[in-house]
Amino acid sequence: MPTNSSAGATRPRVLVLSFSHIARDPRVLRQIRLFREFADVLSCGYGPAPDGVVQHVEVPGAFPAWHASRSRVGFNLSARRHEQLYFGADKVKFVQERVPSGSVDVIVANDVLAVPLAVSLKPQKGIHADLHEYAPKQNDDDLKWRLMMKPFMDWACRRYVTKADSVSTVADGIAEKYASVYGIRKPSVVPNASSFDDRFSPTPVQSPLRLVHTGAAGRGRKIEVMIEAVRRANEIRPGTATLDLVLVPGEQRYIVELGEKASQVPDGAVRMRPPVSFEQIVPMLQDYDIGFYLCPPSNFNMEHALPNKLFEFIQARLALLIGPSPEMRALVNRYGVGMVAKGFDAESAAVALTKMRPVEVSQWKKASHSAAGELSAEATSSAWSRAVKTIAGINHE
């Protein structure tokens, strides 16, 4: 990856670095689209080159996460030999061989474990770290993870993230945690918002109310609670609501269990629907009235979740029904786009559903329509461009 030595070249070279399959990573793709307006953007990650980059380093998918030997990984983690484990990994050495030290102006490192590599590549002007979640508590509900991986994440944050010139993350609570624990100036917040879509407007409210939940089928998300909530709401007040689950393939056994639970709800009120492509999510949601999500606060990141599905519901001009998650509750209350159940249990959500009236749901859908521009990816991503322009020395006033 040679440096840009063209006479008179003024556009900075910005490397977007991510250990994800970039072409399928909406957040990273947003960065590339944004930065290419003022920079020559290079990318490095798994999978083929995304659109809009001038160069791409594809990390081989065959590389193990950190080392071919699980016992060696376990030993290094147990012995807190984090430096050796990280910089001895094939994927890290591969990138170091293909991105010469000092060959780019700015590196945008996605997630904590991309930051040590970014520091080692010595960009000429600096590093922006986009920390998607709070890494030291990523799976804090898992004892093995707490014992082995938490110290690794803490090492990366304490030793390397603190060297970044600027930092962003996905929600206020997570930003505050990074600032308080690691002494980082409070990170800017760039939520996982969806692109603004001007094709849609609120649709008439249906009876029964049509609810939808989209997303990954992880057991920790306790999707069965939402199934039970709809069953219970219809038991309290017949004909209250239906629920469609549009789940991304995940734990197949769990999906089968959810299908069995759904089939047991009377009158076909809960259905499983096949997933759709990323581009079709918002158009598909237009058929519904309410986006439904009870996010159990089983670990720190789930407690402070502000998920992309929330913004997809807004772009589809739906009302929202959520549990009392602090980040989501603040958004719903600020924009008046739905109702917050008193708890994360089925009974609380069922009671909330039975209290909803069509005129209220219609007002919430109209509020989503009003908020769609302000809560779009285009409106919420400006902190990234400000940060990168500042590092690159570009006037952005």
The tens digit of pLDDT for each residue in 254-305 reads: 999 999 999 999 999 999 999 999 889 999 999 999 999 999 999 999 999 9
Task: Say how many C-beta atoms besides its own lie within 10 A of residue 227's C-beta.
Answer: 21
Whether 331 is covered by a domain: the verdict is: yes
Query: Nearest to residue 190, comparing CAs of 380, 28, 386, 389?
Result: 380
- Stretch 10-17: mean pLDDT: 95
Whether 3 is covered by a domain: the verdict is: no
Q: What is residue 69's predicted lDDT score, i.e. its pLDDT?
A: 44
Tokens of 337: 């786009």
Same domain, 219 and 169: no
Predicted confidence (pLDDT) at residue 323 exceeds the cutoff of 60: yes
Tens of pLDDT, residue by residue over 341-373, are: 999 999 999 999 999 999 999 999 999 999 999
Same domain, 171 and 312: no
Residue 208: asked if its preceding bond is cis (omega within 30°), the reply is yes
Same domain, 118 and 241: no
Tens of pLDDT, residue by residue over 31-66, are: 999 999 999 999 999 999 999 999 999 999 988 666
Same domain, 280 and 170: no
Whether 7 is covered by a domain: the verdict is: no
Predicted confidence (pLDDT) at residue 67 exceeds the cutoff of 70: no
Same domain, 21 and 156: yes
Residue 147, domain extent: 13-190+381-392
Is 291 within 8 Å of 311 (Cβ atoms)?
no
Whether 8 is covered by a domain: the verdict is: no
Q: What is residue 74's predicted lDDT score, i.e. its pLDDT?
A: 60
Q: What is residue 140's predicted lDDT score, i.e. its pLDDT?
A: 85
Same domain, 214 and 249: yes
Same domain, 148 and 240: no
Alpha-carbon gap, residue 129 to 127, rounded angstroms: 6
Q: What is residue 72's predicted lDDT score, i.e. its pLDDT?
A: 56
Predicted confidence (pLDDT) at residue 73 exceeds the cutoff of 80: no
Whether 157 is covered by a domain: the verdict is: yes
Please, which pLDDT band fits residue 149 given cuts at 50, 70 and 90?
A: confident
CA 4 to chain centre: 33
Query: Nearest to residue 141, comparing CAs of 132, 152, 149?
Result: 149
Predicted confidence (pLDDT) at residue 144 exceeds the cutoff of 60: yes
Same domain, 222 and 299: yes
DSSP lists the bridge partners of residue 322 as: 293, 340
Predicted confidence (pLDDT) at residue 207 exceeds the cutoff of 60: yes
Query: Residue 311 is part of a domain; what is its CATH number?
Result: 3.40.50.2000
Question: 67-76, 230-239, 334-343: which range is least confident on average?
Answer: 67-76
Whether 170 is covered by a domain: the verdict is: yes
Same domain, 172 and 221: no
Q: In this structure, which amino acid lies at residue 376?
A: S
Same domain, 182 and 33: yes
Tens of pLDDT, residue by residue over 82-132, are: 898 899 999 999 999 999 999 999 999 999 999 999 999 999 999 999 999
Residue 202: asked if its preceding bond is cis (omega within 30°), the reply is no
Tens of pLDDT, residue by residue over 385-395, are: 999 999 999 98
Q: Count the domains in the chain.
A: 2
Same domain, 371 and 388: no
Same domain, 128 and 234: no
